[in-house]
């Protein structure tokens, strides 16, 4: 009988599901989804860069990670300002020499009040675009050169299921999260030849410790969302860990330009 050579033909990276020793930058990781992602990347052996507008929040999460035996660096960043983003990336590169994985999680949502689109104040619209769109662009641009030079990089953008369902009275938020899908597609085209992937995750309504405006997500609305899911339970931050971590690994090297729903099948209902 002949020898089975299937395994020997598979590149080693195709079986590498590890993020050990990777430098993983998670923006907006002082709380909520970002906090859980940073904690779990560190638990898996990565070096977590906890970056948040609030340095106190960043330091609290970094302490949690270190107390659990992980490695972390706490930084303050205002992703809406290019200079702040560049300073952050310079600090990371000075400390670790590189950024291997960028998770663009920082965004404005919980503080927004639902209202008809033509009642959204111009300054509020602009602030959402500055953080949710420009911030992703600034962060991706700041890490791109290093990733290209090293021939490895992962950019993971956090969008929203609201894009698919066209949630009303959140036009600025939905528009900003829609923009990330197009941005991801173009990043994938430009960076793919250099061994850098860009993907987008589209979570559903995630319950976190972050307080929301009372009029935004009532218990009734949350239950309605759950009822539309194939897996009818509350979505929690840890539900996003698996897909995010997988996309960060060498095993995901041939996956790029994709938007992947992680919403318990919510958008499958449409």
Query: Active-site positions?
Result: 173
Pairwise CA distance, residues 163 & 9, whole Å: 40
Q: Which residues pair with 260 in a beta bridge?
A: 201
Query: Whose CA is closest to 155, among 195, 88, 104?
Result: 104
Do you know the residue count of the chain?
270
CB 158 within 8 A of CB 237: no
Pairwise CA distance, residues 71 & 66, whole Å: 6
CB 24 within 8 A of CB 46: yes
- φ and ψ at 11, to 5 degrees? -60, 145
For 33, residues 6+ apart whose C-beta sits below 8 A from its C-beta are 105, 158, 203, 206, 208, 237, 240
187: Cα within 13 Å, side-chain hemisphere: 33
Pairwise CA distance, residues 217 & 226, whole Å: 12
The DSSP letter of residue 124 is: H
Give the max Cα distance, the chain.
Answer: 74
Torsion, Cα 74 206 156 51, to 10 degrees, reads -10
Q: Which residues pair with 72 in a beta bridge?
A: 48
């Amino acid at each position: 009988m002949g020898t089975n050579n299937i395994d020997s033909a598979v590149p080693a990276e195709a079986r590498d599901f590890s993020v050990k020793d990777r430098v993983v930058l998670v923006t907006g990781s002082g709380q909520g989804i970002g906090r859980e992602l940073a904690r779990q990347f560190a638990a898996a052996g990565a070096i977590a860069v906890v970056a948040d507008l609030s340095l106190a929040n960043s330091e609290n999460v970094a302490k949690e990670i270190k107390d659990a035996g992980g490695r972390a660096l706490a930084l303050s960043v205002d992703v809406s300002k290019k200079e702040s983003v560049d300073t952050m990336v310079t600090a990371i590169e000075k400390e670790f020499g590189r950024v291997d994985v960028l998770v663009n999680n920082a965004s404005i949502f919980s503080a927004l009040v639902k209202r008809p689109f033509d009642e959204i104040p111009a300054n509020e619209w602009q602030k959402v675009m500055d953080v949710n769109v420009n911030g992703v662009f600034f962060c991706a641009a700041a890490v791109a050169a290093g990733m290209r030079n090293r021939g490895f990089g992962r950019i993971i953008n956090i969008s929203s299921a609201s894009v698919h369902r066209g949630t009303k009275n959140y036009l600025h938020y939905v528009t900003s999260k829609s923009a990330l899908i197009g941005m991801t597609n173009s990043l994938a085209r430009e960076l793919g030849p250099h061994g850098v992937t860009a993907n987008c995750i589209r979570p559903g309504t995630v319950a976190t410790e972050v307080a929301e405006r009372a009029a935004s997500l009532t218990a009734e609305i949350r239950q309605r969302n759950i009822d539309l899911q194939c897996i009818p339970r509350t979505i929690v931050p840890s539900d996003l860990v698996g897909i995010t971590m997988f996309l960060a690994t060498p095993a995901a090297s041939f996956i790029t330009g994709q938007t992947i729903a992680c919403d318990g099948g919510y958008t499958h209902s449409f």
